[in-house]
Amino acid sequence: MKDGFGRTVEYLRVSVTDKCNLRCVYCMPLEGLPWMKRSEILDYEEIEQIVRTMAGMGLRRVRITGGEPLVRRDLPDLVAMLAKVPGIDDLSLSTNAVLLEEHADALRTAGVRRINVSLDSLREDRVDDIARRPGSFPRIMAGLDAAERVGFEPIKLNVVLMRGVNDDEIEAFAEITRRRPWHVRFIEVMPTGGNLGISADQFFSCQAALRRLGRLADLSPVEGPKGNGPADYYRFPGAPGTVGVITPMSHNYCDRCNRMRLTADGHLRPCLFGHLQTNLRDPLREGRSIVPLIEETLRVKPERHHLVQGSAVGSGGLVALSQTGG
């Protein structure tokens, strides 16, 4: 699949729910976010049909995300269905890991190979403050242990940087990569309607994080683990893992964008931000072909996003990233 700027799109992020068992300060408001109706949400057969159609057009890789994907019942069933779609050779999952311990085995057996876990602090009290669902930390740690035990590879940790909140843990997170074959990725906070205060006042750039880490030891640019998208990767000498940075605000990676997103209610989004989205659900339910709609969405995929720190202008009316799958 080629978009209007010649970029090859072979990767789809599939959101299976807009709900979540956490309320990360930068992602979701504590309350008041309207939930999608049950009837609006795609069932697993519909998701499989869309993925199968896109695989016929060139889709190769699928990441399951949310909201929190593990709050949706029987997720391994969906994984098993997608694993059988001809052409899909890479299935991965993004999760906060709270429910991972109980599902890791089934997910691995069903076909998930790679996993990304969000973890914004190594301190329990801070995770409580950031995720706003006290008691999650031990479960996340158990989830990470389970991820290692069942053999997800690679394991990536996603850390959203916030000044005065977790920026004093940059070194501690990076140190993990010297001990374990994990990939720690620092992410710059992106503005959505629900987090403008954080985006304006607590923004911490990945460049600043890299400068700090450079004082610890040499960091060499490296290729990065399989499935690398927007991240740039670095490695400490002899380290089994890597440090990655995802820099939506201080640096633009849109020129190598290879993805589209499917929302839980069946809209295909060519860009994380902006108003553009195509309803695939209703035509699918009416038995119409969705191929022309996918082609059109590809054709109008924007050249780049237009995010502005501390402003909702470029976020296209998005209140929370949980609504589109991040």
Instruction: Provide the binding-site residues for ligand SF4, judged by CB under 6 A.
Output: 20, 22-24, 27-28, 66-68, 96, 118, 322
Contacts of 222 (CB under 8 A, 6+ apart): 233, 234, 235, 242
Nearer to ligand SF4 (CB atom), residue 28 or residue 239: 28
| Buried b / exposed e along 117-152 (16+ C-beta atoms within 10 A) | bbbbbbeeebbeebbebeebbebbbbbbebbeebeb
* Rounded least distance, CB 321 to ligand SAM, Å: 3
Does 192 sit near ligand SAM (CB under 6 A)? yes
Nearer to ligand SF4 (CB atom), residue 297 or residue 324: 324
Distances (CA, A) of 25 to 120, 187, 272, 302: 11, 14, 19, 28
Does 316 sit near ligand SAM (CB under 6 A)? no
Distances (CA, A) of 304 to 72, 118, 257: 32, 25, 9
Nearer to ligand SF4 (CB atom), residue 297 or residue 322: 322
- By a kind-dependent CB cut-off of 5 to 8 A, residue 225 interacts, out of ligand SAM, ligand SF4, none, with none
Nearer to ligand SF4 (CB atom), residue 118 or residue 205: 118
* Rounded least distance, CB 55 to ligand SF4, Å: 26
- Tell me the helices (H) and strands (E) count for the chain, helix number first: 10, 12
Three-class secondary structure of residue 176 per DSSP? helix
Site for ligand SAM in 26-45 (CB under 6 A): 26-27
Q: Which two tokens stand for residue 261?
A: 């997103």
Closest CA to 117 of 134, 131, 132, 133: 131
- By a kind-dependent CB cut-off of 5 to 8 A, residue 23 interacts, out of ligand SAM, ligand SF4, none, with ligand SF4
Does 195 sit near ligand SAM (CB under 6 A)? yes
* Rounded least distance, CB 68 to ligand SF4, Å: 5
Closest CA to 160 of 139, 133, 130: 130
Stretch that binds ligand SAM, among 43-51, 63-71, 144-152, 161-169 (CB under 6 A): 63-71
- By a kind-dependent CB cut-off of 5 to 8 A, residue 17 interacts, out of ligand SF4, ligand SAM, none, with none
- The residue within the footprint of ligand SAM, chosen from 17, 53, 95, 136 (CB under 6 A), is 95
Euclidean distance between CA atoms 262 and 50, whole angstroms: 9
Does 152 sit near ligand SAM (CB under 6 A)? no
Q: Which two tokens stand for residue 42?
A: 């795609």
Nearer to ligand SF4 (CB atom), residue 67 or residue 274: 67
Do residues 123 and 169 lie in contact, with contact meaning Cβ atoms separated by under 8 Å?
A: yes
Euclidean distance between CA atoms 245 and 186, whole angstroms: 5
Nearer to ligand SAM (CB atom), residue 110 or residue 187: 187
Stretch that binds ligand SAM, among 190-198, 215-223, 272-280, 296-304 (CB under 6 A): 190-198
* Rounded least distance, CB 204 to ligand SAM, Å: 11
Closest CA to 70 of 42, 41, 46, 104: 104
* Rounded least distance, CB 186 to ligand SF4, Å: 15
Report the chain's C-alpha Rg in angstroms: 19
Euclidean distance between CA atoms 264 and 325, whole angstroms: 8
Stretch that binds ligand SAM, among 91-99, 107-115, 173-181, 301-309 (CB under 6 A): 91-99
Q: Which residues bind ligand SAM (CB under 6 A)?
A: 20, 26-27, 65-66, 68, 94-96, 118, 158, 160, 187, 189-190, 192, 195, 321-322, 326
